[in-house]
């Protein structure tokens, strides 16, 4: 009985996803991705401005993150001696991931 529990847990997700795909498949077209949303109360329209907004935000984030990441990598590889800053920058992400895993395991053990 215990090995059926994942199926029972995932079955509602599969049913809802199937229902959405069956009902919404007829609405997917090129105009969905290129048109702007209609005014409230009208049918039709698309998600064109949401796609453009997502691309703009991603581009702005990349313009800030890529130079910082490349510069930090070059600094750590070329100029850093094994000082506390280099160890902190390299090891801190690993410690943070381990901390999150520990919290997850602890939360499952408590309940």
**pLDDT tens, position by position, 42-85:** 888 888 999 999 999 999 999 999 999 899 888 877 887 777 77
Q: Give this prediction's pTM.
A: 0.58
The residue among 52, 55, 54 whose CA lies nearest residue 36 is 52
Provide the token pair at 92.
């801190």
pLDDT recorded at residue 1: 56
3-state secondary structure 36-82: CCCCCCCCCCCCHHHHHHHHHHHHHHHHHHHHHHHHHHHHHHHHCCC
pLDDT (tens digit, 9 = 90+) per residue, 1-34?
567 778 888 999 999 999 999 998 888 889 888 8
| 3 state SS of 29 | coil
């Amino acid at each position: 009985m215990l090995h059926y529990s994942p199926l029972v847990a995932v079955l509602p997700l599969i049913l809802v996803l199937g229902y959405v795909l069956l009902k919404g498949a007829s609405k997917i077209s090129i105009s969905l991705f290129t048109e702007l949303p209609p005014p409230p109360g009208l049918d039709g329209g698309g998600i064109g401005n949401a796609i453009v907004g997502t691309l703009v935000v991603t581009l702005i984030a990349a313009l800030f993150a890529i130079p910082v990441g490349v510069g930090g990598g070059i600094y750590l590889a070329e100029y850093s001696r094994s000082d506390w800053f280099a160890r902190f920058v390299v090891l801190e992400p690993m410690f943070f991931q381990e901390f999150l895993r520990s919290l997850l395991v602890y939360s499952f053990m408590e309940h």
